[in-house]
Amino acid sequence: AQKITQTQPGMFVQEKEAVTLDCTYDTSDQSYGLFWYKQPSSGEMIFLIYQGSYDEQNATEGRYSLNFQKARKSANLVISASQLGDSAMYFCAMREGSYGGSQGNLIFGKGTKLSVKP
């Protein structure tokens, strides 16, 4: 079963509007971290935002915020005031608290390709 599900393969948003990228996750651990990364066409992986499972407040970093709904196991990324430079692939990822073997490593969703229209 997929640990991280991103149901939107591609999305379009008008410049200056807000956009929400969906992410749901599956874990039985109480301790886990949720991460969002951006991959522009140049290929590098850029860390955007982090949410810990025990954090009561939603994480925010500039124009990025994470809508964390623990009971629903969702961690959606909200980008406010979209800019042309936001056009990229966006990956949701999770690290679980039980490490050893393959657990504890960062596991990625399949990504959402965001295109910002002028």
Q: Which stretch binds other proteins (CB under 8 A): 10-18, 67-75, 78-86, 91-99?
A: 91-99
Ramachandran bin of 85, using left for φ above 0, alpha for ψ from -120 to 50, beta for the remaining angles: alpha
Beta bridge partners of 46: 38
Q: Is 104 exposed, middle or buried (0-12, 13-18, 19+ CB in 10 A)?
A: middle
102 part of the interface to other proteins, by CB under 8 A: yes
**Region 6-35 residues binding other proteins, contact defined as CB under 8 A:** 29, 31-33, 35
Task: Give min distance, CB of 16 to other proteins, in A.
Answer: 27
How open is the CA angle 74-7-22, to the nearest 5 degrees? 40
Task: Give min distance, CB of 56 to other proteins, in A.
Answer: 15
Return residues touching other proteins (CB under 8 A): 29, 31-33, 35, 37, 39, 43-45, 47, 50, 52-53, 89, 91, 95-97, 99-102, 104-108, 110-111
